Protein backbone atom coordinates (compact mmCIF):
# COMPACT_ATOMS: atom_id res chain seq x y z
CA UNK A 1 0.00 0.00 0.00
CA UNK A 2 0.98 3.66 -0.34
CA UNK A 3 1.27 5.57 2.92
CA UNK A 4 2.73 8.74 4.45
CA UNK A 5 5.54 7.88 6.86
CA UNK A 6 8.09 9.82 8.92
CA UNK A 7 11.23 8.52 10.63
CA UNK A 8 12.21 11.56 12.72
CA UNK A 9 10.07 14.05 14.57
CA UNK A 10 9.66 17.37 12.81
CA UNK A 11 11.48 16.25 9.67
CA UNK A 12 9.71 15.88 6.31
CA UNK A 13 7.43 12.88 5.91
CA UNK A 14 7.30 11.05 2.59
CA UNK A 15 5.02 8.71 0.67
CA UNK A 16 6.28 5.12 0.47
CA UNK A 17 5.13 1.64 -0.46
CA UNK A 18 4.56 -0.38 2.73
CA UNK A 19 3.15 -3.81 3.50
CA UNK A 20 -0.62 -3.98 3.87
CA UNK A 21 -1.71 -4.40 7.51
CA UNK A 22 -3.46 -7.55 8.74
CA UNK A 23 -6.25 -7.59 11.33
CA UNK A 24 -5.91 -8.78 14.92
CA UNK A 25 -8.34 -11.58 15.87
CA UNK A 26 -10.66 -8.96 17.42
CA UNK A 27 -9.99 -6.36 14.71
CA UNK A 28 -10.44 -5.50 11.06
CA UNK A 29 -8.54 -3.87 8.28
CA UNK A 30 -10.26 -1.03 6.45
CA UNK A 31 -9.70 0.24 2.94
CA UNK A 32 -9.39 3.96 3.63
CA UNK A 33 -11.60 6.03 1.32
CA UNK A 34 -11.10 9.35 3.14
CA UNK A 35 -9.07 10.56 6.10
CA UNK A 36 -8.90 13.98 7.73
CA UNK A 37 -5.78 16.09 8.20
CA UNK A 38 -5.93 17.29 11.81
CA UNK A 39 -3.68 19.46 13.99
CA UNK A 40 -3.37 16.48 16.35
CA UNK A 41 -1.48 14.76 13.50
CA UNK A 42 0.92 17.71 13.50
CA UNK A 43 1.42 17.35 17.27
CA UNK A 44 2.29 13.68 16.73
CA UNK A 45 4.70 14.53 13.92
CA UNK A 46 6.39 17.08 16.18
CA UNK A 47 6.96 14.50 18.92
CA UNK A 48 4.36 15.79 21.40
CA UNK A 49 2.71 12.37 21.85
CA UNK A 50 4.56 9.78 23.96
CA UNK A 51 2.67 6.83 22.42
CA UNK A 52 4.27 7.21 18.99
CA UNK A 53 7.21 5.03 18.00
CA UNK A 54 9.22 5.59 14.85
CA UNK A 55 8.93 5.07 11.95
CA UNK A 56 5.31 6.11 11.97
CA UNK A 57 2.25 6.54 9.75
CA UNK A 58 -0.08 9.27 11.10
CA UNK A 59 -3.82 9.70 10.57
CA UNK A 60 -6.77 9.12 12.92
CA UNK A 61 -9.92 10.52 11.26
CA UNK A 62 -11.07 7.97 8.73
CA UNK A 63 -13.88 6.35 6.83
CA UNK A 64 -13.82 3.44 4.45
CA UNK A 65 -14.82 -0.13 3.71
CA UNK A 66 -14.05 -3.20 5.81
CA UNK A 67 -11.47 -5.19 3.87
CA UNK A 68 -10.67 -8.14 6.16
CA UNK A 69 -12.25 -9.33 9.40
CA UNK A 70 -10.50 -11.02 12.35
CA UNK A 71 -11.68 -14.45 13.48
CA UNK A 72 -13.34 -13.17 16.69
CA UNK A 73 -15.30 -10.31 15.11
CA UNK A 74 -19.05 -11.01 14.99
CA UNK A 75 -20.75 -7.74 14.06
CA UNK A 76 -19.00 -6.75 10.84
CA UNK A 77 -18.16 -8.22 7.48
CA UNK A 78 -16.10 -7.32 4.43
CA UNK A 79 -17.77 -4.61 2.39
CA UNK A 80 -19.36 -2.74 5.33
CA UNK A 81 -19.04 1.07 5.17
CA UNK A 82 -17.59 2.24 8.48
CA UNK A 83 -16.01 5.01 10.46
CA UNK A 84 -14.48 4.92 13.94
CA UNK A 85 -13.75 7.25 16.88
CA UNK A 86 -10.12 8.23 17.19
CA UNK A 87 -10.11 6.65 20.67
CA UNK A 88 -10.75 2.92 20.37
CA UNK A 89 -11.80 1.24 23.61
CA UNK A 90 -10.89 -2.27 24.69
CA UNK A 91 -14.47 -3.00 25.74
CA UNK A 92 -13.55 -4.80 28.96
CA UNK A 93 -11.82 -2.40 31.40
CA UNK A 94 -13.81 -0.65 34.18
CA UNK A 95 -14.08 2.57 32.14
CA UNK A 96 -15.47 0.72 29.13
CA UNK A 97 -17.86 -1.21 31.38
CA UNK A 98 -19.18 2.17 32.54
CA UNK A 99 -19.64 3.29 28.92
CA UNK A 100 -16.66 5.66 29.01
CA UNK A 101 -14.75 4.20 26.07
CA UNK A 102 -13.22 7.61 25.30
CA UNK A 103 -11.08 7.27 28.45
CA UNK A 104 -10.46 3.52 28.14
CA UNK A 105 -7.55 2.37 30.30
CA UNK A 106 -6.18 0.25 27.44
CA UNK A 107 -7.24 2.46 24.55
CA UNK A 108 -5.65 2.39 21.14
CA UNK A 109 -5.58 5.31 18.72
CA UNK A 110 -4.85 4.87 15.01
CA UNK A 111 -2.13 7.29 14.05
CA UNK A 112 -0.75 7.41 17.60
CA UNK A 113 -0.49 4.05 19.37
CA UNK A 114 -0.14 2.29 16.00
CA UNK A 115 0.07 3.14 12.31
CA UNK A 116 -2.81 5.27 11.15
CA UNK A 117 -4.92 6.21 8.17
CA UNK A 118 -2.64 8.37 6.01
CA UNK A 119 -2.53 5.19 3.97
CA UNK A 120 -4.62 3.06 1.67
CA UNK A 121 -5.35 0.54 4.44
CA UNK A 122 -5.45 0.72 8.24
CA UNK A 123 -5.87 -1.87 11.00
CA UNK A 124 -8.40 -1.17 13.77
CA UNK A 125 -8.71 -3.08 17.04
CA UNK A 126 -11.77 -4.36 18.96
CA UNK A 127 -14.02 -3.85 15.97
CA UNK A 128 -17.24 -4.94 17.67
CA UNK A 129 -16.73 -2.18 20.26
CA UNK A 130 -15.50 0.64 18.06
CA UNK A 131 -16.78 0.55 14.50
CA UNK A 132 -19.68 2.80 13.50
CA UNK A 133 -21.79 2.12 10.40
CA UNK A 134 -21.88 5.00 7.91
CA UNK A 135 -25.53 5.87 7.14
CA UNK A 136 -26.74 5.70 3.56
CA UNK A 137 -26.22 8.98 1.79
CA UNK A 138 -23.33 10.11 3.98
CA UNK A 139 -20.13 10.52 1.98
CA UNK A 140 -16.81 9.06 3.06
CA UNK A 141 -15.33 12.57 3.32
CA UNK A 142 -18.11 13.70 5.67
CA UNK A 143 -17.91 10.50 7.70
CA UNK A 144 -14.15 10.91 8.09
CA UNK A 145 -14.65 14.41 9.52
CA UNK A 146 -16.81 12.97 12.31
CA UNK A 147 -14.17 10.73 13.85
CA UNK A 148 -12.13 13.34 15.67
CA UNK A 149 -13.13 16.96 15.25
CA UNK A 150 -16.90 16.83 14.87
CA UNK A 151 -17.50 14.03 17.38
CA UNK A 152 -15.05 15.63 19.81
CA UNK A 153 -16.87 18.96 19.47
CA UNK A 154 -20.25 17.26 19.92
CA UNK A 155 -19.16 15.64 23.17
CA UNK A 156 -17.45 18.84 24.36
CA UNK A 157 -20.50 21.03 23.72
CA UNK A 158 -23.40 18.65 24.41
CA UNK A 159 -22.17 15.97 26.80
CA UNK A 160 -19.37 17.64 28.76
CA UNK A 161 -20.40 21.28 28.31
CA UNK A 162 -24.14 20.63 28.88
CA UNK A 163 -25.10 23.43 26.51
CA UNK A 164 -28.59 24.86 26.92
CA UNK A 165 -30.70 26.97 24.59
CA UNK A 166 -30.26 30.69 25.22
CA UNK A 167 -26.80 30.37 26.78
CA UNK A 168 -23.76 32.23 25.52
CA UNK A 169 -21.04 29.91 24.22
CA UNK A 170 -17.54 31.18 23.37
CA UNK A 171 -15.36 29.16 21.00
CA UNK A 172 -11.66 30.06 20.96
CA UNK A 173 -10.04 28.79 17.75
CA UNK A 174 -12.12 28.17 14.63
CA UNK A 175 -10.33 25.37 12.87
CA UNK A 176 -12.13 22.09 12.22
CA UNK A 177 -13.06 21.33 15.83
CA UNK A 178 -13.89 24.96 16.64
CA UNK A 179 -16.17 25.40 13.63
CA UNK A 180 -17.82 22.10 14.52
CA UNK A 181 -18.43 23.44 18.03
CA UNK A 182 -19.89 26.67 16.62
CA UNK A 183 -22.30 24.71 14.43
CA UNK A 184 -23.34 22.32 17.22
CA UNK A 185 -23.81 25.04 19.83
CA UNK A 186 -25.85 27.21 17.43
CA UNK A 187 -28.00 24.22 16.45
CA UNK A 188 -28.61 23.64 20.18
CA UNK A 189 -30.11 27.14 20.49
CA UNK A 190 -27.09 28.81 22.07
CA UNK A 191 -25.70 32.22 21.09
CA UNK A 192 -22.11 31.76 19.96
CA UNK A 193 -19.12 34.09 20.10
CA UNK A 194 -16.36 32.85 17.77
CA UNK A 195 -12.76 33.95 18.43
CA UNK A 196 -9.93 33.55 15.93
CA UNK A 197 -7.11 35.42 14.18
CA UNK A 198 -8.22 34.40 10.68
CA UNK A 199 -10.87 36.44 8.83
CA UNK A 200 -11.65 33.36 6.70
CA UNK A 201 -12.26 31.26 9.80
CA UNK A 202 -14.51 33.94 11.29
CA UNK A 203 -16.46 34.19 8.04
CA UNK A 204 -17.08 30.44 8.22
CA UNK A 205 -18.07 30.77 11.88
CA UNK A 206 -20.72 33.34 10.91
CA UNK A 207 -21.93 30.99 8.18
CA UNK A 208 -22.28 28.18 10.71
CA UNK A 209 -24.28 30.23 13.19
CA UNK A 210 -22.00 32.46 15.28
CA UNK A 211 -23.92 35.49 16.58
CA UNK A 212 -20.73 37.45 17.29
CA UNK A 213 -17.12 37.22 16.15
CA UNK A 214 -13.93 38.50 17.75
CA UNK A 215 -10.83 39.00 15.61
CA UNK A 216 -8.12 38.30 18.19
CA UNK A 217 -5.59 40.30 16.16
CA UNK A 218 -7.51 43.51 16.72
CA UNK A 219 -8.31 43.45 20.45
CA UNK A 220 -5.84 43.66 23.34
CA UNK A 221 -7.87 41.31 25.57
CA UNK A 222 -10.12 38.69 23.94
CA UNK A 223 -11.57 37.59 27.29
CA UNK A 224 -12.70 41.13 28.01
CA UNK A 225 -14.21 41.35 24.52
CA UNK A 226 -16.17 38.14 25.15
CA UNK A 227 -17.41 39.42 28.51
CA UNK A 228 -18.61 42.67 26.93
CA UNK A 229 -20.40 40.94 24.04
CA UNK A 230 -22.14 38.47 26.35
CA UNK A 231 -23.15 40.87 29.09
CA UNK A 232 -20.85 39.49 31.76
CA UNK A 233 -19.23 36.42 30.27
CA UNK A 234 -20.00 33.16 28.49
CA UNK A 235 -21.92 30.40 30.24
CA UNK A 236 -19.81 27.84 28.38
CA UNK A 237 -16.42 28.38 26.74
CA UNK A 238 -14.18 26.05 24.75
CA UNK A 239 -10.50 26.27 23.92
CA UNK A 240 -10.61 24.46 20.59
CA UNK A 241 -7.08 25.43 19.56
CA UNK A 242 -4.85 24.48 22.46
CA UNK A 243 -2.42 27.17 23.60
CA UNK A 244 -1.71 28.83 26.95
CA UNK A 245 -3.19 32.08 25.60
CA UNK A 246 -6.44 30.55 24.32
CA UNK A 247 -6.87 28.42 27.44
CA UNK A 248 -6.50 31.45 29.73
CA UNK A 249 -8.77 33.58 27.53
CA UNK A 250 -11.45 30.89 27.60
CA UNK A 251 -11.43 30.71 31.41
CA UNK A 252 -11.20 34.48 31.86
CA UNK A 253 -14.11 35.05 29.50
CA UNK A 254 -16.59 33.08 31.63
CA UNK A 255 -19.31 34.50 33.84
CA UNK A 256 -19.91 33.30 37.40
CA UNK A 257 -20.36 29.52 37.63
CA UNK A 258 -19.45 29.17 33.97
CA UNK A 259 -17.99 26.05 32.37
CA UNK A 260 -14.66 25.84 30.53
CA UNK A 261 -14.00 22.79 28.34
CA UNK A 262 -10.43 22.18 27.18
CA UNK A 263 -10.45 20.44 23.81
CA UNK A 264 -7.22 21.53 22.11
CA UNK A 265 -3.99 19.81 23.14
CA UNK A 266 -1.65 21.91 25.29
CA UNK A 267 1.97 20.88 24.75
CA UNK A 268 4.67 22.97 26.41
CA UNK A 269 8.31 22.69 27.27
CA UNK A 270 7.74 21.54 30.85
CA UNK A 271 4.49 19.64 30.22
CA UNK A 272 2.24 22.06 32.11
CA UNK A 273 0.07 25.02 31.14
CA UNK A 274 -0.85 27.88 33.52
CA UNK A 275 -4.60 28.05 34.16
CA UNK A 276 -6.21 31.02 35.98
CA UNK A 277 -7.46 28.97 38.91
CA UNK A 278 -7.84 31.99 41.19
CA UNK A 279 -10.69 33.11 38.95
CA UNK A 280 -12.05 29.56 38.85
CA UNK A 281 -12.19 29.51 42.65
CA UNK A 282 -13.66 32.99 43.05
CA UNK A 283 -16.41 32.47 40.46
CA UNK A 284 -16.96 28.74 41.09
CA UNK A 285 -16.06 27.86 37.53
CA UNK A 286 -15.98 24.32 36.19
CA UNK A 287 -12.79 23.23 34.40
CA UNK A 288 -13.47 20.21 32.19
CA UNK A 289 -11.57 18.13 29.69
CA UNK A 290 -13.04 16.44 26.64
CA UNK A 291 -11.39 13.54 24.85
CA UNK A 292 -13.17 12.16 21.81
CA UNK A 293 -16.53 10.38 21.93
CA UNK A 294 -17.46 6.73 22.43
CA UNK A 295 -18.81 4.83 19.43
CA UNK A 296 -21.99 3.83 21.26
CA UNK A 297 -22.96 7.51 21.67
CA UNK A 298 -22.79 8.30 17.93
CA UNK A 299 -26.49 7.56 17.15
CA UNK A 300 -27.82 10.88 18.54
CA UNK A 301 -25.25 12.85 16.58
CA UNK A 302 -25.88 10.84 13.41
CA UNK A 303 -29.62 11.33 13.79
CA UNK A 304 -29.11 15.10 13.76
CA UNK A 305 -26.77 14.79 10.76
CA UNK A 306 -29.29 12.72 8.79
CA UNK A 307 -32.05 15.20 9.66
CA UNK A 308 -29.95 18.07 8.31
CA UNK A 309 -29.82 19.84 11.68
CA UNK A 310 -26.05 19.39 11.69
CA UNK A 311 -24.08 19.75 8.43
CA UNK A 312 -20.55 18.40 8.90
CA UNK A 313 -20.27 18.17 5.11
CA UNK A 314 -20.07 21.97 4.99
CA UNK A 315 -16.91 21.87 7.10
CA UNK A 316 -14.94 20.00 4.41
CA UNK A 317 -13.19 22.81 2.59
CA UNK A 318 -10.51 20.96 0.58
CA UNK A 319 -9.42 17.52 -0.61
CA UNK A 320 -5.79 16.56 -1.22
CA UNK A 321 -3.80 13.47 -2.24
CA UNK A 322 -1.29 11.42 -0.25
CA UNK A 323 1.49 13.06 -2.28
CA UNK A 324 0.33 16.49 -1.12
CA UNK A 325 -0.01 15.43 2.51
CA UNK A 326 3.58 15.78 3.83
CA UNK A 327 3.69 19.48 2.96
CA UNK A 328 0.17 20.04 4.28
CA UNK A 329 1.07 18.28 7.55
CA UNK A 330 4.12 20.49 8.05
CA UNK A 331 2.10 23.64 7.32
CA UNK A 332 -0.34 22.97 10.17
CA UNK A 333 2.18 24.32 12.68
CA UNK A 334 2.13 27.84 11.27
CA UNK A 335 -1.24 27.88 9.48
CA UNK A 336 -3.80 25.53 11.07
CA UNK A 337 -6.33 26.51 8.41
CA UNK A 338 -10.09 26.89 8.45
CA UNK A 339 -12.45 23.99 8.00
CA UNK A 340 -11.47 20.38 7.36
CA UNK A 341 -8.97 19.10 4.81
CA UNK A 342 -9.64 15.53 3.67
CA UNK A 343 -7.08 13.20 2.09
CA UNK A 344 -8.11 10.79 -0.69
CA UNK A 345 -5.52 7.97 -0.43
CA UNK A 346 -6.38 6.60 -3.87
CA UNK A 347 -6.11 9.84 -5.84
CA UNK A 348 -2.89 10.84 -7.54
CA UNK A 349 -1.58 14.40 -7.64
CA UNK A 350 -1.96 16.07 -11.01
CA UNK A 351 1.42 16.61 -12.71
CA UNK A 352 2.77 20.15 -12.70
CA UNK A 353 2.48 21.63 -16.21
CA UNK A 354 5.83 22.00 -17.90
CA UNK A 355 7.09 24.90 -20.02
CA UNK A 356 4.82 25.50 -22.98
CA UNK A 357 1.94 23.50 -21.52
CA UNK A 358 -1.51 24.94 -22.26
How do residues 56-107 score in pLDDT, each as one tens digit?
999 999 999 999 999 999 999 999 999 999 999 999 999 999 999 999 999 9
Amino acid 174: pLDDT? 93
Q: In terms of Cα–Cα distance, which of 144, 151, 142, 154 is closest to 184?
A: 154
Neighbouring CB atoms inside 10 A of 256's CB total: 11
CA separation, residue 31 to residues 80, 86, 240, 301, 316 (Å):
10, 16, 30, 24, 20
Q: List the CATH code of the domain at 162-289.
A: 3.40.50.720
Amino acid 50: pLDDT? 87
CATH architecture label of 2-148+293-344: Alpha-Beta Complex (3.90)
CA gyration radius for the chain?
A: 20
Whether the per-residue pLDDT at 354 is higher than 80: the answer is no
Contact 3, 57 (CB under 8 A): yes
CA separation, residue 169 to residues 187, 237, 313, 331, 338 (Å):
12, 5, 22, 29, 19
Please write the tens of the pLDDT for every residue from 222-245: 999 999 999 999 999 999 998 999
Whether the per-residue pLDDT at 356 is higher than 70: the answer is no
Question: CA 296 to CA 129: how far, in whole Å?
Answer: 8
Amino acid 351: pLDDT? 55
- The CA dihedral of 208, 214, 215, 219, to the nearest 10 degrees, is 180
3-state helix, strand, coil in the chain (%, to 5): 30, 25, 45
Amino acid 271: pLDDT? 66
CATH 3.40.50.720 residue ranges of the chain are: 162-289
285 — pLDDT class (breaks 50, 70, 90): very high
Contact 32, 120 (CB under 8 A): yes
DSSP string, 203-226: HHHHHTT-SEEEETTS-S-HHHHH
Alpha helices in the chain (DSSP H): 39-46, 94-97, 127-130, 140-145, 151-154, 176-187, 199-207, 222-229, 244-252, 277-282, 298-306, 325-331
Amino acid sequence: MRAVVFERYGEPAEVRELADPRPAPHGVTVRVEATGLCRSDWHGWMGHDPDITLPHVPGHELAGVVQEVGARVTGWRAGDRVTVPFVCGCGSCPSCAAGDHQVCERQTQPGFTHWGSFAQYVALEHADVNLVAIPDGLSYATAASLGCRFATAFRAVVQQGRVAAGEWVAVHGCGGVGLSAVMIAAASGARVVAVDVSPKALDLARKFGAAECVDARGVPDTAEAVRELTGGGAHLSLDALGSPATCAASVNGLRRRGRHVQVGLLPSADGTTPVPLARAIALELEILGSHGMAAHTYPKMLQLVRAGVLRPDLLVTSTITLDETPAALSALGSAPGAGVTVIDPWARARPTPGPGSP
